[in-house]
């Protein structure tokens, strides 16, 4: 693979127990081409080391280093995965000469490979343009099965990311690109966005969301006291699709929790509501893949955002594996 970097063993450090008490002792650094077909539960961490789309979208660059920061923080956390559950670091998709499109194509190929090998992919970014490549990889895998399965996208984000790619794609266009592809193929665009802020999207974006029949929950509603109602919306959305792809943009969180992102704001949501929603999504049995976008170590404070991202990965990995 041209735009690919093998896993880095030096990222996986921490306390030594010799009893697999920590995740750096559990993980297998396995190049993508060597990933085995899973016989039991198996989770694969794949980086998307690209922020060319953030630069195009006039955001703060630095998310190219996000995957390594998340992996390093994750490795230091306690391991509660059952002994039969496998955990792989399969390296990272890279970006050369700002060729974001080539990186997205490579990401799609990598995600399809992981799904074919019966791995559960968790992709770590990197700009939110990763969502287009990630979705294309899921679709490529499902189309090859020729079962006509539908994909629902659940995005935890302050932004719709429905900007029109009139010239080039960027970190703000992935879901518009997916919508356009869906229209060309004559299939439904199933998109639920949780945490949308009025101060982070112009009126044209709200109109685009209405035109595309996007379901969204505003940030002032996306709160723990309204969890029961939000859970109802999530279950209703999941009921109408065959597979669910979840993408978490770290800039949707308040900067009190996530200062190290491409577009920080104090007005975002809390980790607690996201964790509760993830439990609901996973309980549907339809979650096929997940990613975390916009981790920017350049602006992080005391590794706080990396720890938040790693905690989200920790939660998902243990929940999907039943550990």
pLDDT at 142: 97
Does position 109 have pLDDT exceeding 90, yes or no? yes
Cβ(120)–Cβ(151) under 8 Å? no
pLDDT average, residue stretch 105-134: 98
Over residues 120-152, the pLDDT tens digits come to 999 999 999 999 999 999 999 999 998 899 999
Please state which of the four CATH numbers 3.40.800.10, 3.30.40.10, 3.20.20.10, 3.40.50.10320 is assigned to the domain occupying 4-320. Answer: 3.40.800.10
Convert the pLDDT of each residue in 33-72 to its tens digit. Answer: 999 999 999 999 999 999 999 999 999 999 999 999 999 9
Q: Is 202 known to sit in a ligand binding site?
A: no
**pLDDT the model gives residue 18:** 86
Residue 251 labeled ligand binder: yes
- 302 annotated as a binding-site residue: no
Q: Predicted confidence band at 166 (pLDDT cuts at 50, 70, 90)?
A: confident
Residue from 128, 127, 131, 137 nearest 105 by CA: 137
Length of the chain equals 323
Burial class (CB in 10 A: 0-12, 13-18, 19+), 319: middle
> What is d(CA 217, CA 232) in angstroms, rounded to the nearest whole number?
12
Structure confidence by residue, pLDDT tens digits, 73-87: 999 999 999 999 999
Q: Is 157 annotated as a binding residue?
A: yes
pLDDT for position 171: 95
Is the peptide bond between 34 and the residue preceding it cis, with omega within 30 degrees of 0?
no
Confirm or deny that 3 is annotated as ligand binding.
no
| CA-derived radius of gyration, the chain | 18
Q: Is the per-residue pLDDT at 13 higher than 90?
A: yes
Q: Is a pLDDT exceeding 90 seen at residue 167?
A: no
Mean pLDDT of 107-130: 98
> Measuring CA to CA, which residue among 5, 247, 245, 246 is closest to residue 103?
5
Q: Does 159 appear as a known binding residue? A: yes
CA dihedral angle for residue 260, residue 12, residue 37, residue 284, rounded to 10 degrees: -40
Average of per-residue pLDDT values in the chain: 97
Domain locations in the chain as residue ranges = 4-320
What percent of the chain stands above pLDDT 70? 100
Non-local CB neighbours of 250 within 8 Å, separated by 6+ positions = 258, 260, 261, 292, 293, 294, 295, 305, 308, 309
Query: What pLDDT score was predicted for residue 323?
Result: 79
Residue-wise pLDDT for 225-260, tens only, equals 999 999 999 999 999 999 999 999 999 999 999 999
Using CA atoms, how far apart are residues 79 and 199, in angstroms rounded to an integer?
39
């Amino acid at each position: 693979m041209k735009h690919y970097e093998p896993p880095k063993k030096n990222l996986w450090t921490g306390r030594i127990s010799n009893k697999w008490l920590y995740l750096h002792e559990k993980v297998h650094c396995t190049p993508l081409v060597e990933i085995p077909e899973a016989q039991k539960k198996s989770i694969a961490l794949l980086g998307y080391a690209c922020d060319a789309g953030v630069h195009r979208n006039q955001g703060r660059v630095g998310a190219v280093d996000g995957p390594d920061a998340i992996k390093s923080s994750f490795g230091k956390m306690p391991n509660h995965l059952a002994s039969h559950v496998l955990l792989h670091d399969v390296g990272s998709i890279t970006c050369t000469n700002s060729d974001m499109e080539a990186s997205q194509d490579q990401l799609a190929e990598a995600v399809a490979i992981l799904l074919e090998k019966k791995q559960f992919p968790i992709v770590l970014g990197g700009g939110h343009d990763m969502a287009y490549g990630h979705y294309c990889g899921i679709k490529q895998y499902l189309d090859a099965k020729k079962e006509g399965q539908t994909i629902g996208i659940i995005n935890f984000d302050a932004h719709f990311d429905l900007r029109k790619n009139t010239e080039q794609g960027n970190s703000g266009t992935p879901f518009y690109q997916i919508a356009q592809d869906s229209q060309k193929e004559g299939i439904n665009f199933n998109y639920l966005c949780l945490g949308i802020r009025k101060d982070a999207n112009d009126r044209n974006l709200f109109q685009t969301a209405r035109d595309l029949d996007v379901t969204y929950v505003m940030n002032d509603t996306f709160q723990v006291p309204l969890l029961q109602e939000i859970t109802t919306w999530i279950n209703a959305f999941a009921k109408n699709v065959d597979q669910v792809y979840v993408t978490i943009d770290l800039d949707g969180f308040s900067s009190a929790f996530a200062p190290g992102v491409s577009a920080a704001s104090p007005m975002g949501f809390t980790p607690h509501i996201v964790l509760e929603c993830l439990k609901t999504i996973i309980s549907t049995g339809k979650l096929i893949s997940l990613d975390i976008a916009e981790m920017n170590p350049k602006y992080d404070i005391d590794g706080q955002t990396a720890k938040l991202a790693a905690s989200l990965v920790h939660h998902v990995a243990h929940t999907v594996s039943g550990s």
